[in-house]
């Protein structure tokens, strides 16, 4: 049984100083309440995080190498704007104090057996790339069979976006290989499953990623992992999670949309509105006039300073609102492609 826990080492954060007025004016009230009024851009960028390590069977038992993160960032497509993605990502700690896995955290590394052969290190396997880790409750179950089929149909599109895919359940690899014949036969489209399926038979990966409770899984007749989706950026940071119960299948179109949105935010220092890209189809622009020119537009990240906004996105539109706070800064879709 799994009796060990993930160990966390907290790195100290420097004492922040006063925020500049332009930064305060361009930052959302939610973020300001979280940070207080005493953080600077430089202090945010210097912030430490938490390194995860694990001594589970099959795991790479080493503290995260922050010089590796720096190299990955140097080689990545992250926007170089200092007040943009760099600062926004610094708001998320790289680890948690209680061992839980949360957005912005460095995901645990692991070794695993898969339908495509062994993965010696998950971090090394996906080095410098985006990746999706997609768990399913069990082989030879109806909803999972359709999900793997639909994900296979999206694989080439995700690959063209430089995004790797790996799926997982607590079944052994041999079970996966036998079950994949059913997956291919049942799918109404002609498919080939080109991504690896991980056999997490000792439940170590599922436990480390919070997909299963190590305290109760041994007592369950069928210890199912939840339907989880983890989208991980090139620096091995968790950017998005989706959790579904065993009885509800996932929408793979939404997963692809999320990857597109995350990559666009990462590369352009923007945030995608609700229902993007089907958003802001008709908006007021003053003097009683309206326009459809901003359909599919995006917002500048709240951290982006006015100076950086004017330099990098001249002509952006600031939506007028009763508060008179200039935080709804729209950029047309064609300006971020």
pLDDT at 276: 97
In sequence order, the 6+-apart residues with CB closer than 8 A to the CB of 106 are 49, 51, 52, 64, 69, 94, 95, 235, 236, 237, 238
| CA 291 to chain CA centroid, nearest Å | 33
- Residue with the bigger pLDDT between 294 and 216: it is 294
What's the pTM? Answer: 0.78
pLDDT digits (tens, 9 = 90+) for 270-284: 999 999 999 999 999
pLDDT at 220: 55
pLDDT at 245: 87
Q: Beta strands 197-199 and 163-169: pairing type? A: parallel
Is residue 221 scored above 90 in pLDDT?
no
What number is the average pLDDT over the span 3-15? Answer: 32
- E strand or H helix at 199: strand 197-199
Predicted confidence band of residue 224 (pLDDT cuts 50, 70, 90):
low
What number is the average pLDDT over the span 195-200? Answer: 97
Is residue 217 scored above 60 in pLDDT?
no
Predicted confidence band of residue 77 (pLDDT cuts 50, 70, 90):
confident
CA distance 311 to 87: 17
- Residue with the bigger pLDDT between 217 and 132: it is 132
What number is the average pLDDT over the span 214-224? Answer: 57
- Looking at the DSSP bridge assignments, the partners of residue 167 are 134, 197
Predicted confidence band of residue 212 (pLDDT cuts 50, 70, 90):
confident
Of 73-82, 210-219, 222-231, 234-243, the poorest mean pLDDT is in 210-219
Of 14-18, 75-79, 96-100, the poorest mean pLDDT is in 14-18
Residue burial 42-64, b: 16+ Cβ < 10 Å; e: rest: ebbeebebbbbbbebebbbeeeb
Phi, psi of 102 (to 5 degrees): -130, 170
What number is the average pLDDT over the span 48-74? Answer: 41
pLDDT at 58: 44
Mean pLDDT of the chain, nearest integer: 80
Percent with pLDDT over 70 in the chain: 74
Tell me the residue length of the chain: 337
pLDDT digits (tens, 9 = 90+) for 137-149: 999 999 999 999 9
pLDDT digits (tens, 9 = 90+) for 301-313: 999 999 999 999 9
pLDDT digits (tens, 9 = 90+) for 230-270: 999 999 999 999 999 888 999 999 999 999 999 999 999 99
Quickly tell me which residue has 């999706």 as its tokens: 132
How buried is 36 (Cβ within 10 angstroms: 0-12 exposed, 13-18 middle, 19+ buried)? Answer: exposed
Predicted confidence band of residue 287 (pLDDT cuts 50, 70, 90):
confident
């Amino acid at each position: 049984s799994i009796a060990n826990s993930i160990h966390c080492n907290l790195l100290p954060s420097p004492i922040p100083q006063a925020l500049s007025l332009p930064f305060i004016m361009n930052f959302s009230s939610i973020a300001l309440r979280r940070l207080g009024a005493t953080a600077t851009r430089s202090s945010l960028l210097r912030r430490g995080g938490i390194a995860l390590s694990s001594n589970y069977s099959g795991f790479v038992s080493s503290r995260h190498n922050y010089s590796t993160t720096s190299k990955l960032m140097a080689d990545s497509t992250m926007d170089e704007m200092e007040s943009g993605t760099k600062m926004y990502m610094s708001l998320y700690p790289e680890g948690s104090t209680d061992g839980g896995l949360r957005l912005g955290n460095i995901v645990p590394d692991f070794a695993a057996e898969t339908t495509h052969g062994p993965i010696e290190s998950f971090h090394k396997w996906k080095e410098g790339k985006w990746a999706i880790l997609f768990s399913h409750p069990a082989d030879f179950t109806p909803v999972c069979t359709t999900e793997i089929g639909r994900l296979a149909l999206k694989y080439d599109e995700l690959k063209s976006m430089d995004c790797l895919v790996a799926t997982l359940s607590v079944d052994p690899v041999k079970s996966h290989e036998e079950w994949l014949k059913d997956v291919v036969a049942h799918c109404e489209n002609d498919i080939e499953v080109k991504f690896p399926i991980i056999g997490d038979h000792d439940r170590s990966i599922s436990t480390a990623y919070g997909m299963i409770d190590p305290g109760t899984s041994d007592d369950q007749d069928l210890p199912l992992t939840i339907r989880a989706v983890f989208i991980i950026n090139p620096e091995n940071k968790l950017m998005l999670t989706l959790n579904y119960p065993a009885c509800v299948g996932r929408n793979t179109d939404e997963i692809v949309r999320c990857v597109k949105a995350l990559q666009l935010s990462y590369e352009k220092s923007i945030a995608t509105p609700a229902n993007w890209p089907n958003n802001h189809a008709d908006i007021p622009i003053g003097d009683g006039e309206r326009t459809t020119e901003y359909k599919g537009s995006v917002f500048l990240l709240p951290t982006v300073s006015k100076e950086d906004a004017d330099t990098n996105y001249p002509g952006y539109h600031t939506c007028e609102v009763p508060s008179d706070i200039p935080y709804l800064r729209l950029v047309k879709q064609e300006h971020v492609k």
